[in-house]
């Protein structure tokens, strides 16, 4: 686990200039399943080889994902490959940033299986971040992480945290406790990602209440994408965040559906672009 105040920063210029950010910020959270489109439960078995070996159709699906994310200011991605055999040794975050015209991106590798898999989270942003922090989340089984990006400075700075939590309640409690400590110095906070927690339990989670965060919905459903029946992808916001829009997109490019959120940004974050 990295220290809570350790910074890791990475940025790559794109072919297009940053877009001017208005007084709202549009964010998207999407578990892209390393670019694999899944349309039936049986495909977890019949298409399981795609998690280990390259597939030419993955590239077409990534291009569709790039088209989808291009409309947003900040994109939180989970289950991204940072460059291994299965992705054709392509850093998928770098590819999506280039294709969708994002000037800044960061890729976090949480499970380094060498040539076989480089599994983790990523963020794409049109707003220049003041800081990017890479955190390894606690748990008996390693491989979960969080990315914190800070937009703007001072008391109006906006903290955006991308997470992909474990499945077990004990590990989830530890991980959400870590996130709570991570954001405690910020007034304006958005936490988003695949949390593997059903909304009803998340609404009452002790760590969420201690952090002063609130889930935006307890009725939305994001999984499985072809017949959504549970909501395990979530957005949490602090009390001072004004939310203009929250919705689940019917975009079946993965086994999860993406979530869109539009917020009013604090002044300093607004001026960061």
- HSE-CB at 203 with a 13 A cutoff on CA atoms is 9
| Residues 180, 191: Cα–Cα separation, whole Å | 10
Q: What does the pLDDT read at residue 77?
A: 98
Question: Residue 237 burial (CB < 10 Å; 0-12/13-18/19+)?
Answer: buried
Question: Residue 243 burial (CB < 10 Å; 0-12/13-18/19+)?
Answer: middle
Structure tokens, 111: 């499970």
Q: What does the pLDDT read at residue 93?
A: 97
24-270: CATH number: 3.60.10.10
Measured CA to CA in angstroms, residue 40 lies from 52, 124, 249, 270 at distances of 19, 29, 19, 42
Which residues have CB under 8 Å from 219's CB, separation 6+?
A: 199, 231
Complete DSSP assignment for 205-250: -HHHHHTTEEES-SS---BSTTS--B--EEEEEETTPEEEEEEE--
Which residues have CB under 8 Å from 45's CB, separation 6+?
A: none
Structure tokens, 273: 């672009």
Residue ranges per domain, the chain?
24-270
Q: Per residue of the chain (273 residues), what is the pLDDT tens digit?
A: 333 344 444 443 333 344 444 489 999 999 999 999 998 888 788 888 678 777 888 899 999 999 999 999 999 999 999 988 888 889 999 999 999 999 999 999 998 887 887 889 999 999 999 999 999 999 988 899 999 999 999 999 999 999 999 999 999 999 999 999 999 999 999 999 999 999 888 889 999 999 999 999 888 999 999 999 999 999 999 999 999 999 999 999 999 999 999 999 887 777 654
* pTM confidence score: 0.90
Q: What does the pLDDT read at residue 271?
A: 62
| Residues 25, 130: Cα–Cα separation, whole Å | 16
> SS3 sequence, 30-82?
EECHHHCCCCCCCHHHHCHHHHCCCCHHHHHHHHHHHHHHCCCCEEEEEEEEC
| Residues 94, 91: Cα–Cα separation, whole Å | 5
């Amino acid at each position: 686990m990295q220290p809570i105040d350790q910074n890791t920063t990475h940025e790559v210029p794109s072919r297009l200039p940053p877009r001017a950010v208005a007084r709202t910020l549009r964010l998207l959270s999407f578990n892209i399943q390393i670019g694999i489109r899944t349309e039936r439960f049986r495909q977890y078995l019949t298409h399981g080889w795609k998690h280990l070996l390259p597939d030419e159709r993955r590239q077409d699906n990534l291009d569709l994902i790039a088209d989808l994310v291009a409309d947003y200011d900040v994109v939180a991605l989970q289950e991204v490959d940072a460059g291994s055999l299965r992705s054709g040794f392509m850093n998928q975050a770098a590819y999506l940033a280039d294709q969708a015209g994002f000037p800044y991106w960061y890729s976090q590798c949480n499970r380094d299986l060498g040539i076989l898999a480089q599994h983790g989270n990523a963020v794409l942003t049109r707003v220049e971040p003041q800081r990017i922090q890479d955190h390894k989340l606690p748990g008996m089984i390693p491989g979960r992480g969080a990315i914190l990006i800070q937009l703007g400075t001072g008391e109006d700075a906006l903290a955006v945290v991308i997470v992909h939590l474990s499945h077990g309640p004990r590990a989830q409690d530890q991980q959400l406790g870590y996130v709570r400590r991570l954001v405690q110095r910020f007034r304006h906070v958005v936490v988003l990602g695949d949390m593997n927690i059903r909304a009803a339990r998340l609404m009452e989670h002790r760590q969420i209440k201690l952090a002063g965060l609130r889930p935006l919905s307890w009725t939305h459903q994001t999984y499985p994408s072809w017949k959504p029946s549970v909501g395990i992808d979530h957005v949490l916001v602090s009390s001072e965040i004004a939310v203009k829009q929250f919705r689940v997109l019917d975009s079946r490019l993965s086994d999860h559906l993406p979530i869109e959120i539009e917020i009013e940004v604090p002044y300093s974050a607004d001026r960061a672009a």
